[in-house]
Structure 1
């Protein structure tokens, strides 16, 4: 009988650490790095963890915290007629939004119906290539690399519905906001800061004030607040089922979004 599990290994790359799980949480390892060194250090930390737990011959799924990604809204354009043109258009949207070249980044876009804006995420090529190389050398099959924002949205999409809503993802050091109107994306925004009630209340109030005369349903997912639930009026919490064995490790909570 084989002792190999068909369940994929889920790796979470956080701002200050990396964790892995497979059926159950295997563990995490923290690090401290300048932003320019985070990709290299995260890859080395993941290599160490995979070697320590001897994960072999399994699929690997990777979730990326917002610190490794950039996000941008890509408006609909009738002039786009091919995937290559869409990629060039998306890159131009990113460069206009961030005011700098996006050379060395790979862009993926949300699938949307004709006429609708897309949410785009950009991830460093060095990180993606490093994950591909690390998977091969570790005997793993790289199944997917996904921003945590996308995993969280997909997990709670049915609850959000197709109306007007604000979806706030509050990671411990960075928050992201998705605004939709009648099921069409209006904007995506990223903000540095903690996930305290005070900070989140200010963020949500500011976003709602920008939508004058537009009542919004507000949804909040704060993976770092599993044991200290946010206490905010008028906010619907999107929470994951607590693990069988309570953990204080936010990376273990984030891994459960694709469980």
Structure 2
């Protein structure tokens, strides 16, 4: 259900414009909901939440979304869910000549995650980007319990759950045609967290998700540290930061215009709606 970005593929849009299609953005501290019906976009609002101590951070987010859907009586519609990087984990899975079966590949990816994060991911669902032979893959991990809860949410509200994606995927796919064919660094700046994808020589070289203050200085420092991994001449740097209410003054090409909405979740939704 969750598919990471690929350098070779994008997500196609549904051609069904007759029924309402909801898109929910589960942010780090709030949930937003928008609707697309008859070729019109409508922002329906957002709701802040506070997670309980010792509780998985996504629980309060899904509860807030459930309350919003209940208030709207959203039965019979489609639902797409976009997840903040707070609820996702990312890992680079190097190519291995000894991998010959999909089960072996997923076991290898799980081992890469566990080596990176220092803990087992038995209760997480891992999906790998499709890449050509010899190339590294980007792997995404999402809590299995979160995906099951969203499926139950769809059933409870009589909604057709069409997709659950990291916001990174939707953002990257939206910007694919704007990226250079050569080496580049794609930076997704969410509130309080950024994800960076480094591509060189036609393959992925690095993926990094890190907490980052919403300041130009913090973002520039993160970009510079990631570029140090590249070596040689610096790659083209692309910044996708719809939730920033001002234009970040960093050394990067802006991939979306400044937000006109005071609500960061609305800005994120409009950028991929």
TM-score by length of 1: 0.92
Return the match for 2:22 from 9, 29, 32: 9
Secondary structure at the aligned position of 1:112 is classed as: coil
Q: Does 1:24 align with 2:38?
A: no
User: Would you identify which runs of 4 or more consecutive aligned residues in structure 1 move more than 4 Å?
Assistant: none
Structure 2 counterpart of 1:169: 188
Kindly state the Cα deviation for residue 183 of structure 1 after the two structures are TM-superposed.
2.3
Shift of 1:241: 8.1
C-alpha RMSD over aligned residues? 1.7
Look up the match of 1:249. 263
**Structure 2: how far apart are the matches of 1:80 and 1:211?**
27
Q: Counterparts of 2:203 and 2:20 in 1: how far apart (Å)?
A: 34
Give the CA deviation at 1:210.
2.9
SS of equivalent residue, structure 1 residue 25: strand
1:36 to 47, 55, 65: 55
TM-score calculated relative to the size of structure 2:
0.87
Q: Offset of 1:164 from its aligned partner?
A: 0.6
Alignment of 1:258 onto 2:252: no
Gaps of 5+ in 1: none
In the other structure, the counterpart of 1:92 is 111
Secondary structure in 1 matching 2:135: coil
**Match in the other structure for 2:179:** 160
Q: When you count helix as a share of all residues, which structure comes out higher?
A: 1
Q: Is the Cα–Cα contact under 8 Å of residues 135 and 204 in structure 2 kept in the other structure?
A: yes
Residue 186 of structure 1, aligned match among 205, 230, 240? 205
Aligned partners of 2:133, 2:176: CA distance in 1, in Å? 20
CA deviation digits over 1:98-135, x for unaligned, max 9?
Answer: 11101110011111112111101100011000000000
- CA 1:172/1:40 → structure 2, altered by over 3 Å: closer, same or farther? same
- Unaligned runs of 5+ residues in structure 2 are 1-16, 36-40
How far the C-alpha of 1:75 sits from its partner, in A, is 0.9
Distance 1:235 1:7, change over 3 A: same
Report the counterpart of residue 237 of structure 1 in structure 2: 254
Between 211-220 and 143-152, the greater mean CA deviation after superposition: 211-220
Contact 1:175/1:195, CA 8 A, preserved across alignment: no
Separation in structure 1 between the aligned mates of residue 270 and residue 93 of structure 2, nearest angstrom: 29
Q: Which protein, 1 or 2, shows the higher relative CO under an 8 Å CA cutoff with sep ≥ 6?
A: 2
Equivalence for 2:9 = none
For 1:27 and 1:165, the matched residues in 2 are separated by 35
CA distance in 2, matches of 1:257, 1:83: 34
1:45-95 CA-to-partner distances (Å, cap 9, x unmatched) read 110000111212111100000000110001112222222222111111100
Q: Number of residue pairs matched?
A: 251
Match of 1:221 among 240, 243, 246: 240
Offset of 1:24 from its aligned partner?
A: 0.7
Distance 1:204 1:92 in 2: 27
Residue 206 (structure 1) shift: 1.6
